[in-house]
Amino acid sequence: MLLDNNRRFVVRSFSLSLIVGSLGCASAPLHTEGSSSSIRAAEEVGAAKVPRAGLHLQLAKEELQKAKRLEEEGEKEEASSMLMRSEADAELAVALSRDERERAEGRAAVEKVRQLRMNNRPSSGANPSSNEGGTL
């Protein structure tokens, strides 16, 4: 009898904790921090000025808004899933901006070498139209 009471208590406690737990999960706010901070990072590296990066930044923002709207509509799982899209787009926007910067710096470095070589080209071969030493 005592054992039955204890078992009942355990079962009730477990059921209660499950209900409380599921209620807690249902009311947990949407974690938009990851997406928001990725969007901020993309803005800070100048994604808006790089066409392809700007497009993904815009998508990330729209998806964040959509996730918030879904949350308001009670579609929490769908909202969380949408946030993944937002974060992935923001992350890609950051990478595309860095790529653009790195490539610009690479081009500038190559141009610097080209200029250095051009400015220090031996003068003997500088004037191909010269007739010195040749017959006219």
- Can you give the binding site for another protein, defined by CB under 8 A? 56, 77-78, 81-82, 84-85, 88-89, 91-92, 95-96, 98-99, 102-103, 105-106, 109-110, 112-113, 116-117, 120
| Helix, strand, coil fractions of the chain, as percent rounded to 5 | 80, 0, 20
Distance CA(47)–CA(49), nearest Å, equals 5
Q: Which is nearer to another protein, 48 or 59 (CB)?
A: 59
Between 23 and 51, whose beta carbon lies closer to another protein?
Answer: 51
8 A C-beta contact, residue 31 and residue 76: no
Contact 49, 74 (CB under 8 A): no
Distance in Å, CB of 18 to another protein, minimum: 24
Decide whether 48 or 55 has the Cβ nearer to another protein: 55
